[in-house]
Amino acid sequence: MRIVNAFPAAIQNRRSGSDDAETRCAIVVGQAEIGPKLFSREGELQQSEEIRFKMTGYLHPLYAESLSEFGIPIELPQCGGWLLERRIPNSDLKDAMGCYPIFCCADWTRLLADIQNIRDKYVTISLVADPFAPVTTVDLSRCFQLVQVFKKHFIVDVGDSTDRHINRHHQYYARRALKQIQVRLVDDPKACLDDWVRLYKILVEHRHLRGIKAFSKSSFAIQFEVPGLVVFQASRNGRTIGMHLWYVQSGVAYSHLSAVDEEGYALSAAYGLYWSAITEFKQHRATEIRWIDLGAGAGMEETAQDGLSRFKRGWATAEKVKYFCGSIFDLQSYESLTATNMSDSDYFPLYRAGELS
């Protein structure tokens, strides 16, 4: 994850009591608001309104459990979020990361309290905040030493009942695909687990995915138990050729993962799947869903012209920024872990450089 080059020095200044404007600018990148403020001007946490969120999707404990191959799920009891505790290679030290692909919690006003309670256990913490989190970068900077723009998510306003926001190219290929394939909303996702694992294996091999991105069958078996899962299945002649997984939580339908096989790719099944999902959410779930989150582009550093960004932009009504957040809790150990790393990488934490590339 790209970070400000002088990050450890900035932390040292903060620990010694320095809180000048230069230090703050080195740590916090960008000041655009990403939601209604939850903090007072004096910086004190305000009591949030009554929590109306249901624990579904990325908020549910089962989703954190599905990632237990990569770390021990750690509950943040006050805010309702989850982290993964991981052993740092070649050491007896540990760090904490947010669940992949985004960190969500039920009450963002309580996140700081949870972080303060765990800071003595870990060298660092890092996470990618939910783009729909009701916080600003100023709010996040009170919880983390580093807050930096990461990617833009492409989103759809469910209140727009038309399909005029979908570009002509996508409309053409969606209609053409739906003349050749059948797309259905799956009643019992668990019955489709084997089909999904087959399709995702193709994606893993095609994109050379590894680590936490290369979810195992056992991980997916748990994810298919998570409340809020919505699955669309594309088939032809009775054979599954593509699937799209979504999680619905807190008024947002999040695109989780999608995959097609060779036949699905040839028939542009992805267009039919996206069209069907957007139509379903708009026409039949508008009372529970306000936004559709199509996700971001590919790679650690997307460009405006990468293929996945172009594809998702063609469906969207708007874009929403998500932020990478991180802190060093144990500066001495961090410097020791990175002392022999001669890389000029801006990845954070540096001792894990390249693990998600």
CA distance to 36, 168, 312, 324, per residue, from 30 (Å): 16, 34, 24, 11
SS3 percent helix, strand, coil of the chain, rounded to 5, is 35, 25, 40
Report CA 139 to chain centroid distance, whole Å.
Answer: 19
Distance CA 144, CA 275 (A): 38
- pLDDT score recorded for residue 307: 87
For tokens 């469906």, what's the residue?
A: 315
293 and 155 in contact (C-beta within 8 Å)? yes
Q: Which alpha helices (DSSP H) does 183-302 contain, by range?
A: 193-207, 217-223, 262-266, 269-284
Distance CA 290, CA 272 (A): 22
Report the predicted TM-score, pTM, of the whole model to 2 decimal places.
0.85
- pLDDT score recorded for residue 346: 83
Residues of the chain with pLDDT under 70: 1-54, 299-305, 342-344, 357
Q: Which CATH code fits 159-289?
A: 3.40.630.30
Tokens of 280: 């379903």
Question: Residue 184 burial by CB count (10 A; 0-12/13-18/19+): exposed, middle or buried?
Answer: exposed
Q: How large is the C-alpha radius of gyration of the chain? A: 21
- pLDDT score recorded for residue 30: 29
18 and 9 in contact (C-beta within 8 Å)? no
Question: How long is the chain?
Answer: 357
Distance CA 37, CA 141 (A): 13
Side-chain-side CA neighbours of 121 within 13 Å: the count stands at 15
Cis, peptide link before residue 227, omega less than 30° from 0: no
Q: Which alpha helices (DSSP H) does 125-259 contain, by range?
A: 137-143, 168-178, 193-207, 217-223
User: pLDDT tens across 323-338, in order?
Assistant: 999 999 999 999 999 9
- DSSP 8-state code for residue 192: G
Tokens of 98: 């947010």
CA distance to 106, 191, 212, per residue, from 48 (Å): 10, 40, 33
- pLDDT score recorded for residue 340: 77
Distance CA 112, CA 94 (A): 20
Tokens of 227: 């409340």
User: pLDDT tens across 116-168, in order?
Assistant: 999 999 999 999 999 999 999 999 999 999 999 999 999 999 999 999 999 99
Which part of the chain has CATH 3.40.630.30? 159-289
Distance CA 34, CA 48 (A): 17
- pLDDT score recorded for residue 35: 40
